[in-house]
Amino acid sequence: MIVREYTKRDLDAMIGIWNEVVEEGIAFPQVDGLDPAGGEAFFAEQSYTGVAEEDGNVIGLYILHPNNIGRCGHIGNASYAVASAWRGRHVGERLVTDCLQKAKALGFRLLQFNAVVESNVHARHLYERLGFQPLGTVPGGFRMKDGHYENICLYYHTLSDTASKTVQADEEREKPE
């Protein structure tokens, strides 16, 4: 498996994977899927879009972009999608690991996830294993496809050496003596 930057020839597979996750209604906030024109524009407008490829087939993807603008533009945000037939095979881990490297290379100092559905335990365990720190929980922050509400968990991961040292210093000051 390789993770690389997407090309236009990947778009049909990418849109299919993205729409599969949207249709499931349990992870992405979007309600409507992407059509070919909208998908091409959506993926092109990201800071970076990567795909996981196995034997010439796109099996997963991620998008990376600023979480906010201006004075908060140094904080990145990302979304990951893996084709259902490939889940449980560490595709997500490869995507997240690549994304962390790419985010740092693009100058982001932090990566923040705003809406990880609490019941998405596989994603949460992966993020925590890769060093993401939980920020808190928003009660009932996500409306599932079936209409019930679930909590969302917020996470962050420091990317720059300076940010990491600042967080470590803050944590040291907070430790009881």
How many Cβ atoms from other residues are within 10 Å of residue 70's Cβ?
A: 7
* For residues 96-105, average pLDDT: 98
Over the stretch 158-170, which tens digit does the pLDDT of each residue have? 997 644 444 444 4
Domains and CATH numbers, the chain: 2-174 (3.40.630.30)
* For residues 106-122, average pLDDT: 96
What pLDDT, on a 0 to 100 scale, did the predictor assign at position 161?
A: 61
Burial category of 95 from C-beta neighbours within 10 Å (exposed 0-12, middle 13-18, buried 19 and up): buried
Closest CA to 114 of 66, 70, 54, 43: 66
pLDDT surpasses 80 at 171: no
Residue 63's φ and ψ, nearest 5 degrees, are -120, 145
pLDDT surpasses 80 at 9: yes
pLDDT surpasses 90 at 156: yes
- With cut-offs at 50, 70 and 90, classify the pLDDT of residue 85: very high
pLDDT surpasses 70 at 140: yes
Distance CA(111)–CA(66), nearest Å, equals: 9
pLDDT surpasses 70 at 90: yes
How many Cβ atoms from other residues are within 10 Å of residue 157's Cβ?
A: 23
* For residues 128-144, average pLDDT: 97
What pLDDT, on a 0 to 100 scale, did the predictor assign at position 175?
A: 52
pLDDT surpasses 90 at 29: yes
Element (DSSP H or E) covering residue 8: none
* For residues 55-84, average pLDDT: 97
> What is the average pLDDT value for the chain, to the nearest integer?
92
Element (DSSP H or E) covering residue 1: none
Q: What is the DSSP string of 24-91?
A: HTSS-S--S---HHHHHHHHHTSSEEEEEEETTEEEEEEEEEESSSGGGTTEEEEEEEE-GGGTTSSH
Q: Which residue has the tokens 């729409």?
A: 19
Rounded to a whole number of angstroms, the distance between the first and last alpha carbons of the chain is 48
What pLDDT, on a 0 to 100 scale, did the predictor assign at position 49?
A: 98
* For residues 79-85, average pLDDT: 97
